[in-house]
A and B are shown apart, each in its own frame.
Chain A
Amino acid sequence: MENAVIFYTLSALIIIFTGLTIKFRNIFYSLLSAMTAFLLVGVLFYLLGSEYNAIIQVAIYGLAVPIILGVAIMFTNTKNEVKEKTSGRMKSVMFLTCGLFILAMVYVVMASLLITPEGFSIAGKTTASHYEVIQAFSRGIFIKYVWAFELVSLILTMVAAGLTLFKHANTEEGR
Chain B
Amino acid sequence: MEITIYHYLALGLAVFVLGIAGSIMSKHVIKMLISIEFILTGVNINFVTFASFCDNVNFNGYIFTLFYTAIGAVEFALALYIFYLMYRSKKTENIDKYGEL
A interface vs B, CB < 8 Å?
1, 3-4, 7, 11, 14-15, 18-19, 21-22, 27, 30-31, 34, 37-38, 41, 44-45, 48-50, 52-53, 56-57, 60-61, 64-65, 68-69, 72-73, 76-78, 80, 82-84, 86, 90-91, 93-94, 97-98, 101-102, 105, 109, 119-121, 123-128, 133, 136-137, 139-141, 144-145, 148-149, 152, 155-156, 159, 163, 166, 170
Q: Which residues of B contact A128 (CB under 8 A)?
A: 56, 59
A4 to B4, CA, bound (A): 10
Q: Which residues of B contact A48 (CB under 8 A)?
A: 8, 48-49, 52
How near does chain A come to B5, taking the closest CB pair, in angstroms? 4
Q: Which residues of B contact A21 (CB under 8 A)?
A: 22, 31, 34-35, 38
Give the interface SS of chain A, mostly helix, strand, loop or mixed. helix
Question: In the bound complex, do residue A136 and residue B59 qualify as a contact, i.e. CB atoms below 8 Å apart?
Answer: yes
Question: In the bound complex, do residue A126 and residue B53 qualify as a contact, i.e. CB atoms below 8 Å apart?
Answer: yes
Q: Which residues of A contact B1 (CB under 8 A)?
A: 1, 4
Question: In the bound complex, do residue A41 and residue B45 qualify as a contact, i.e. CB atoms below 8 Å apart?
Answer: yes
A34 to B31, CA, bound (A): 9
Known: A82-B28, A141-B63. A94 touches B78 (CB 8 A): no
How near does chain B come to A4, taking the closest CB pair, in angstroms? 5
Which chain A residue lies CB-closest to B24? A94
Residues from 11 to 38 in B contacting A, C-beta threshold 8 Å: 11, 13-22, 24-28, 30-31, 33-35, 37-38
- The interface size bin for chain B is 35 or more
26 A–B contacts from the bound complex (CB under 8 Å): A11-B7, A15-B11, A34-B38, A38-B37, A38-B41, A48-B48, A48-B52, A50-B59, A52-B62, A53-B44, A60-B69, A60-B73, A61-B41, A61-B69, A68-B80, A69-B33, A76-B83, A82-B27, A93-B24, A97-B20, A105-B13, A109-B6, A126-B52, A126-B56, A156-B70, A159-B77
Q: Which residues of A contact B18 (CB under 8 A)?
A: 15, 18-19, 22
Question: In the bound complex, do residue A166 and residue B81 qualify as a contact, i.e. CB atoms below 8 Å apart?
Answer: yes
